Structure 1
Amino acid sequence: MDTSVPVLVVDDYSTMRRIIKNLLNQIGFTNIEEADNGASAYDKMRGHKFGLVISDWNMEPMSGLELLKLVRADNALKGVPFIMVTAESKTENVIAAKAAGVSNYIVKPFNAETLKTKIASVL
């Protein structure tokens, strides 16, 4: 697994961004940027090449699912591995995320080992 790839962590809750960033650091990632919503994440992605996006599902004004759909519709970005993080393990959410092209899915709470396994499967 290439831990040198730039990672974008997207969550409207700063504590969750910090937790994910700390977990990423634990498994060797150091090139990490943050965005506090889907719209700012999309702007960052259009200006910088990321090797992985880890995004929360529930955000305002643009949800993680809406961000994922935008990314997958953008020819320059559609190949970026995208992991969705959510507190809900509802089957319909997993199906919607898969249909939109999510690379993997993590249900909160999770630890560094779970994150590492999910990342390894998409990188």
Structure 2
Amino acid sequence: MALFQRLGGRDGVEALVEDLAVRVREDPDIGHYFDEVDEVELNRHRTMFFSALLGGTEEYGGRTIRAAHSPFRLTESDFDVFIRLITLTLAGSSASPRDQRSILRALERLRSTVVHASAPEAISRRVV
């Protein structure tokens, strides 16, 4: 059974996305990125994305991950905060510890696509 199904299908993914959206919006470090965003539309895209990422049959029809995130010049720290928030979201869900680790690994593989290569922090990490 696909991870998507083990999480409860589209309903389960929507619940995760809604919980995550609240955490992200309220976070003092990354919440500001979403001040001017249509949250309903964003959550629709997040649900499509996570559904596709987790083995659902729905195709993600949004912009590429790089195109969606590059205008924000996200740093490694920003991505770390997001991973912390999704970790908390998953811990409060019905996802098994094994499935939680699988989801986090899948998201970590996107780090280099999401983090802006010319963000000051990204540059300093490459030099060190």
TM norm. shorter chain > 0.5: no
Shorter-chain TM-score: which interval? 0.3 to 0.5
User: TM-score, normalized by length of structure 2?
Assistant: 0.32
Q: Which has the larger radius of gyration?
A: 2
Query: Whose helix fraction is larger, Structure 1's or Structure 2's?
Result: 2
User: TM-score, normalized by length of structure 1?
Assistant: 0.32
Higher relative CO (Cα under 8 Å, sequence separation at least 6) belongs to: 2
